Structure formats: structure tokens, C-alpha cells
Amino acid sequence: MELEQVLHMNGGVGKTSYATNSLHPRAVISLVKPIVNASIEQLCGKLFSDCLKIADLGCSSGPNTLLVVSDIIHNIHAAFQKLNRPYPTIQVFLNDLPGNDFNTVFRSLPGFYKKFEEELKLGPCFITAMPGSFYGRLFPNNSLCIKSHDPLCIWEVVGLKLNDMVLEGLIEDEKLDTFDLPYYAPTTKEVEDVIEAEGSLTLQSLEVLKNDWDSYIKRADGRLDRKARAAVLATDIRAVGEPILATQFGEAAMDDLFRRFEEDVLDHMDRENCQYISLVISLTKKR
């Protein structure tokens, strides 16, 4: 099966869906707001267009999808108000792989439009989906103003639990041996080198954000004990990784896998310095 067909978050709005378990991306969105705000204000001072076009690459589904869009639109309107210029029309392209649950996003659009048009008076906004891999071609040349990207999550402890399940005969050894999900986290120097070598973009800023695996859970509810935090973390990772794992190892193995993950993940965090690393990059196209 093609990777693009199974590489997506859990759809719907159930208890293991990404829509219900996307607290960590929401926390990162909040952390990067000041950087995004500054970049948009700088951009709007240079743009003279009646229609600004925005692409969210890796939009997924659930409340965070339109939260990012909402924040960007607010920033654009604030910038144009500060510049005493008329508000532009906004066109938004939501991009993810074809298996993404775009239907859940579409069902939330009427309420989103109503809020912007009636409550906030922020002018016209048009949102559409652009399914496909951003490693290929999605848009015409020189057609976008603003892009954002939401990266994937962790796999280290999930891999440890899969090995345990092989040793106990709960999944087939061959299925683990043939499971390959390449993931590479670059250093900031490697990112800078790639941007420089490609040549068409100027690096405006690059910031590194570091957070412990469960810090976003503690911030959301400081009353949760270790076991409760482990349960939240396990479900969040399940919402991201279950579709591709279930394709390889079967749906029947998923409950046991993530139960084991929940039991061991915080012990692993005590032994290792486990952090989410987010690179926040602002680029402009060279003229």
C-alpha cells in the first residue's frame, strides 16, 4: 500500500481521534504566535495585493486546523489596520495527504465563516482544500504569500513496545522486520545549509523551541498525576500513529500496544531527556 494512503491522523471526533487529542500541537501553535505575528506584520508592510493567499501545509483536521488560519487572518487584519490600508480578501488552502479527514474540517466551515463575517467583521475569506504531498507540486509559480507547516510526532517509545510484543509472540516478527518509517530530525545547521544551497529563499529567522514530552499536559491541567499524564500522552500519540501502525500490524494489536506505551512512557522519560524540538523558520523569496 502506498505510504500516502495510510500516513494521516485518526479521523472523526472519537476518543482516539486527532481532533480530540491534539493538545500538543495547540501548545506549539501558542508558543510560536509572537514569531508568526512579527513575520506577518513585516510581510504586510511590503505586500500590495487585493487578495492574500495562505497555505497550511500539513493542516490535519480538528480545532487546530482553523485555529492556525484564524490567528493568521487576525494578524493580517491587525497589520493592515495599523498601516491604514483597506483589508484584503483572504484565500486559504488547507493541504494534507489525501487520507486526511477533510470532511470534518468542511463541516466546521459554516460556523467559522459566520464568526468572521458577522461577529468579527473581518471581511471576505475563502477556504479550500488542496490534497496531496507537498514534496510534489501543489501550486502555480509565485501564487502564495504565507505558508505554515505542522510536523509529525515521536516514535521512539512506540518502537520499544513493538519489540516487546514480538518477544511475547503478540505480533509477527516478519511484520516488525519489514516495517520502515524513515524519520530524520535535522540540526539547525543542516536546515540553514539546505536553505543556502537551494538558493531561492532568504532565511529571516530560525528559532528552536524545546519542551518536555508531558509539559503541555501539565500546563493544561496541573492536577494530573503521572499515570493520568501517561494516558493523555499515549492517546495523543495514538491519534497520530495508529493509521500507519494498524495497516502493518492490524487493528487488533492497537489497544494492547498503546496500553503498554502508556505504562512505560513516563518511566522512559525519567531515564532519558525526552523533548519535543520545534524549529520555527521564517523565509522570504528572493526577487
Over 90: is that where the pLDDT of 189 sits? yes
Q: What residue has cell string 531527556? A: 273
**Alpha-carbon gap, residue 9 to 99, rounded angstroms:** 9
Q: What are the C-alpha distances in Å from 181 to residues 7, 155, 269?
A: 10, 9, 23
> Which among 83, 148, 94, 88 has a CA at the least distance from the CA of 122?
88
DSSP 8-class letter at 80: H
Most distant pair of Cα atoms in the chain: their distance: 68
- pLDDT for 212 equals 86
End-to-end CA gap in the chain: 41
The CATH number for 152-287, chosen from 1.10.3470, 1.10.1200, 1.10.4160, 3.40.50, is: 1.10.1200
Under CATH, which number does the domain 21-150 receive?
3.40.50.150
Domain boundaries, the chain: 21-150, 152-287
pLDDT mean over 249-273? 84
Which of 22, 26, 3 is closest to 13 using CA atoms?
A: 22
What is the phi/psi pair of residue 124, to 5°?
-70, 140
Report the mean per-residue pLDDT for the chain: 80
Model pLDDT, residue 155: 43
7-11, 66-70, 94-98, range with the lowest pLDDT: 7-11
Contact 85, 123 (CB under 8 A): no
* pLDDT > 60? residue 203: yes
- pLDDT tens readout for residues 124-163: 888 999 888 877 788 877 777 666 655 444 444 555 545 5
Q: Residue 99's pLDDT band (boundaries 50, 70, 90)? A: confident
Helix/strand number for the chain, H first, E second: 10, 6
Specify the pTM.
0.72
Query: What pLDDT shows up at residue 158?
Result: 54
Phi first, then psi, for residue 273 (nearest 5°) are: -90, 85
Average pLDDT for residues 21-48, to the nearest whole number?
A: 80
Most confident of 31-40, 56-65, 131-140, 253-262: 253-262
Range with lowest mean pLDDT among 55-69, 107-121, 134-148? 134-148
